[in-house]
């Protein structure tokens, strides 16, 4: 069984919700990413999303744009990020890892080459921000053949008909984008998110993860009550941005936020 499916199955028996942190691979430097991944696991991560840096991150706000720029200053490539996952897997064979990024680096590498390397590296899922289900057939097919899942996004603007299509294609979990906007944007409206999640839940049994606008224990707890998973990105990347030259401080601040969220989430459900 895929690590993501197993993760949600286990959480169901304990009644807890998944905490999914995002960091950009290679930020602030490639040598630190694997350590940060382990640090995230130690402080409560169930699944890790690793961002593949891209020169033109169209769907991201300034925080993750700058993370991409820091990673690209070290020429962090898709291949490098896959190697980071491979290195992480040497000592962690349990925690699920999803790659998150834009299509072009994968397109240039070639879908089959990418799928093979992702498999060898121990990647469990791939989320391509600018690849809606309509354009996903070839890549999802190559990944599926190797038991790697494709994660799709759902948005407040997604009408029912599209929601059906996305549910048909969905694997692993559905990533519900809580606000209209880019990553790191304004606070989410819990009532509005709940109404949308209810609508989606009537269509699918897939776990529903909510991202965008979750910055602290309180927002994480509020979302944990209504969703199956809480995704946090910009708030963590900010810890890196604040301390680019101090590895110890990055880890300390990451752990603090993660533990705070973990605790608040577990208390809320």
Partner 1 sequence: MSIDLKAVTQLPTKSGHFGPYGGRFVSETLMSALDDLSELYERLSQDPEFQAEYDHDLAHYVGRPSPLYFAERLTKHVGGAKIYLKREDLNHTGAHKVNNTIGQALLAKHTGKPKVIAETGAGQHGVATATVAARLGLQCTVFMGATDIERQKLNVYRMRLLGAEVVAVNSGTATLKDAMNEAMRHWVTNVDDTFYIIGTAAGPHPYPKLVRDFQAIIGREAKRQCMEQEGRLPDALIACIGGGSNAIGLFYPFIEDESVAMYGVEAGGHGLDGDDHAAPLCKGKPGVLHGNRTYLMEDENGQIMPTHSVSAGLDYPGVGPEHSYLKDIGRVNYVAATDEEALDAFHKLTEIEGIIPALESSHAVAFGMKQAAKMDKDKIVVINLSGRGDKDIHTVAAIDGIEI
Q: Print the binding letters for residues 159-198 with partner 1: x by CB under 8 A, - otherwise.
A: x--x---x----------x--xxx--x-------------
The pairing of strands 149-150 and 47-51 is: unpaired
Stretch that binds partner 1, among 13-21, 103-111, 191-199, 237-245 (CB under 8 A): 103-111
Q: CB of 165: closest distance to partner 1 in angstroms?
A: 10
Q: In what order do the strands lie in the sheet with 47-51?
A: 149-150, 125-128, 96-101, 47-51, 18-24, 229-232, 208-211, 174-177, 152-154
Among 5, 35, 130, 266, binds partner 1 (CB under 8 A): 130
- Give yes or no for a contact between 249 and 266, defined as CB atoms under 8 angstroms apart: no
Would you count residue 56 as binding partner 1 (CB under 8 A)?
A: yes
Q: CB of 228: closest distance to partner 1 in angstroms?
A: 18
Would you call 267 exposed, middle or buried from its count of C-beta atoms within 10 A (0-12, 13-18, 19+)? Answer: exposed
Stretch that binds partner 1, among 40-48, 107-115, 118-126, 141-149 (CB under 8 A): 107-115
User: What 3-state class would DSSP assign to 158?
Assistant: coil
Q: Print the binding letters for residues 9-48 with partner 1: x by CB under 8 A, - otherwise.
A: ----------------------------------------
Q: CB of 56: closest distance to partner 1 in angstroms?
A: 5
Q: CB of 49: closest distance to partner 1 in angstroms?
A: 15
Instruction: Tell me the CA end-to-end span of the chain in Å, nearest whole number.
Output: 26
- Report d(CA 141, CA 35) in Å as an integer: 32
Would you count residue 204 as binding partner 1 (CB under 8 A)?
A: no
The set of catalytic residues is: 49, 60
77: its two tokens: 């490539």
DSSP 133: G
Q: Which helix (H) or strand (E) is 19 found in, with range?
A: strand 18-24
The nearer residue to partner 1, 129 or 231, going by C-beta atoms, is 129
Residues contributing to the site for partner 1 (CB under 8 A): 54-62, 65, 72, 75, 77-79, 102-109, 129-132, 134-135, 152-159, 162, 166, 177, 180-182, 185
């Amino acid at each position: 069984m895929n690590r993501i499916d197993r993760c949600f199955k286990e959480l169901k028996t304990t009644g807890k919700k998944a905490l999914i942190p995002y960091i950009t691979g290679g930020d602030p430097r490639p040598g630190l990413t694997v350590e940060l991944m382990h640090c995230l696991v130690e402080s409560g991560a169930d699944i890790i999303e690793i961002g593949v840096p891209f020169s033109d991150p169209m769907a991201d706000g300034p925080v993750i744009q700058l993370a991409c720029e820091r990673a690209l200053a070290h020429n962090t490539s898709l291949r490098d990020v896959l190697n980071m996952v491979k290195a992480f897997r040497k000592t962690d064979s349990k925690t699920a890892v999803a790659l998150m990024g834009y299509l072009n680096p994968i397109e240039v590498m070639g879908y089959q080459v990418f799928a093979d390397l992702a498999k060898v590296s121990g990647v469990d899922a791939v989320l391509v921000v600018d690849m809606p289900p309509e354009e996903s057939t070839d890549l999802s097919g190559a990944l599926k053949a190797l038991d790697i899942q494709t994660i799709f996004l759902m948005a407040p603007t997604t009408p029912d008909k599209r929601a059906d299509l996305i549910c048909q294609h969905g694997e692993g979990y559905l990533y519900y984008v809580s606000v209209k906007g880019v990553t790191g944007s304004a606070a989410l409206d819990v009532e509005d998110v709940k109404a949308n999640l209810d609508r989606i839940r009537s269509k699918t049994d897939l776990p529903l993860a909510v991202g965008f606008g979750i910055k602290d224990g309180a927002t994480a707890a509020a979302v944990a009550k209504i969703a199956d998973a809480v995704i946090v990105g910009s708030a963590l990347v900010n810890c890196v941005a604040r301390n680019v030259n101090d590895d110890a401080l990055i880890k300390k601040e990451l752990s603090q936020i993660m533990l705070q969220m973990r605790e608040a989430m577990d208390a809320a459900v």
